[in-house]
């Protein structure tokens, strides 16, 4: 059994895998730059991963060190952090310097390939929203990065005077108060931006695939048909962990 980790800017996700596929349910917790205390008993209850720990990470070194220390102290093992290569998992990366592409984006493209969704546009709705176009042969054509929903909202409430913090509530195109206007404008604006970019990036056809923590909130407001794959990065990481073992 392998333990897989997807360490994002704001959340850590984990799952177990065997034979290149996830086994059981995946878990997720916000991390705030530190190893969450509530995660420790969950991991402690797991059997030690006899086939290793594999990760993709875009997080700060501080949480990576804490994870490494915990794994060494409790299971006596190290973890392997994957770096994006030129070619791997059936995907050929378009970047001139492939290692500069976040390994989570690479794993998500591998996950889309594993699902038989290529050609496609892979949309990951996290702290930042990334969109990557992949053709039917697994060639990454390139992509774009835009601020995520939370980042958009914070840029308004923290970067301007007299605007209130945003809580949960209804979405209205014609908002009649400022919090609803910000909540609705950022959500509807991001949904429209994703739809527009996906249309531009998928002229060769295929069904776009949507993943990431904000995907469920955005999905009802998207006009195109998307394949929703909540654990897409971990699915791709399961394939990659099998290849590099």
Residues annotated as catalytic (active site), given as ranges: 104
CA gap 99, 120 in Å, rounded: 22
Angstrom CA distances, 216 to 116, 147, 204, stand at 22, 17, 26
Side-chain half-sphere CA neighbours of 167 within 13 A? 1
């Amino acid at each position: 059994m392998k333990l897989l980790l997807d360490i994002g800017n704001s959340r850590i996700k984990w799952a177990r895998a065997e034979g290149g596929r996830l086994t059981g349910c995946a878990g997720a917790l916000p991390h705030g730059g530190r190893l969450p205390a509530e995660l420790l008993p969950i991991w402690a209850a797991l059997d030690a991963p006899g086939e290793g720990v594999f990760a993709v990470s875009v997080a700060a070194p501080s949480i990576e060190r804490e994870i490494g220390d915990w794994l060494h102290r409790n299971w006596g093992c190290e973890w392997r952090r994957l770096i994006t290569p030129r070619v791997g998992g059936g995907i050929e990366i378009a970047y001139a310097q492939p290692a500069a592409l976040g390994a989570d984006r690479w794993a998500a493209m591998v996950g889309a390939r594993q699902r038989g969704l290529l050609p496609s546009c892979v949309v990951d709705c996290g702290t930042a929203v990334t969109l990557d176009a992949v053709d039917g042969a697994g060639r990454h054509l390139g992509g774009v990065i835009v601020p995520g929903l939370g980042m958009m909202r914070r840029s308004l409430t923290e970067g301007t005077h007299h605007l209130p913090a945003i809580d949960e509530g209804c979405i209205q195109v014609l908002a009649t108060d400022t919090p609803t206007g910000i909540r609705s404008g950022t959500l509807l604006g991001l949904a429209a931006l994703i739809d527009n970019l996906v249309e531009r990036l998928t002229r060769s056809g295929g069904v776009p695939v949507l993943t990431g923590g904000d995907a469920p909130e955005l999905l009802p407001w998207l006009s195109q048909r998307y394949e929703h794959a909540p654990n897409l990065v971990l699915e791709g990481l399961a394939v990659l962990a099998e290849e590099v073992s």
